[in-house]
Structure 1
């Protein structure tokens, strides 16, 4: 017997949420295809985290419907939780344990067969094998974030929510996390990430939705969003190196 993949991994229609007199979500609609990276882009206070909390069953909507992996988040929350993983804005790792011990612990809590083998596989996938025997307290920000994302993969969830995964990270760590997110999608996992960084959405997402004051302003591919503006004027100018070029050139020379 084969399991039929739902046409949409996440479907949201008319989602509303208020806190007293503060209207956070004012009718949000979005659809995320299985195995894709969908970026919910917006400034602080736009309602991104509220959407994630509703979709992960941590918060009930006031109105509207939402399904994740084919399950309604309001009427079938247990099935939703079995199908998802959530990584918040700060890495939820135990600094006293080693990287491998963190992974083994989560694997045992989720009753995964051969937790040690699962941990070793994830360490390899996220380029953490050499650091696996070290305490997480010695890890850089990027390494902790990659470990956190690796932990979220245990149990093979169909959908992973990443709520501002690179907040507070330096440029090099951000690049490391981007690579980890791409690794998730390449394995068939559906990724919904929230971010306030335009470059992050542009670099990672198959589709991008811009959330502003509780409403989706636009939703489409990067090319579709760029097509909303007038064509660029062609000018011939001398190209100067960007700060990113300077940063990576200097840091590589000193590596």
Structure 2
């Protein structure tokens, strides 16, 4: 990949890593209280739902994904080290989180006025049985970003000295996030009278939101598969041309 594109990939990746870090920190605040996590969420929404924040986050996501498609298409060989396979798997799972986030928060707020708060989020995830999925999607994206940052910075002496601290953050942040979410879930259930019930307004618009999520997910998977198939076809045609050239010689 040309140097300029590598820089774009690095900068867009750092933006996404900051987004994930703030997301994990927000969940971790739930260890102390649901109210504190809610205040953190309000600040995060002001950042990412502002015009500059929206352009920065979704622009970085589209740029990073476009460069990933370019890499998948351009790869000649798939004999990769284990670290690269882990990073690839973790990175390709990150858009699943972003798609869910964009639909559940931004689209829901823009189209139907459903401003997110942690009580509504927790109830929605618990009643739909997807709280485990939400936590499971955060960790791979965090792993991908941290591995990418380390591979880029590992040659610097300061990064090598900070490796124990960075490794600690890599492990602890998802654990603290999961602990915060579990505490918030317990707080919401304790405050609830009777079984948890999702917001009626959310229930009314859930089919439309699910349709949006499904369509965007299918588009994402189609682009991934198309890039891979096109790259393999290009590789096959190149090998065929080289064989014919060799026979001709």
On whether the aligned pair clears a TM of 0.5, the verdict is: no
Pick the structure with more strand per residue: 1
Greater RCO (CA < 8 Å, at least 6 residues apart): 2
Normalising by structure 1, report the TM-score.
0.26
Pick the structure with more helix per residue: 2
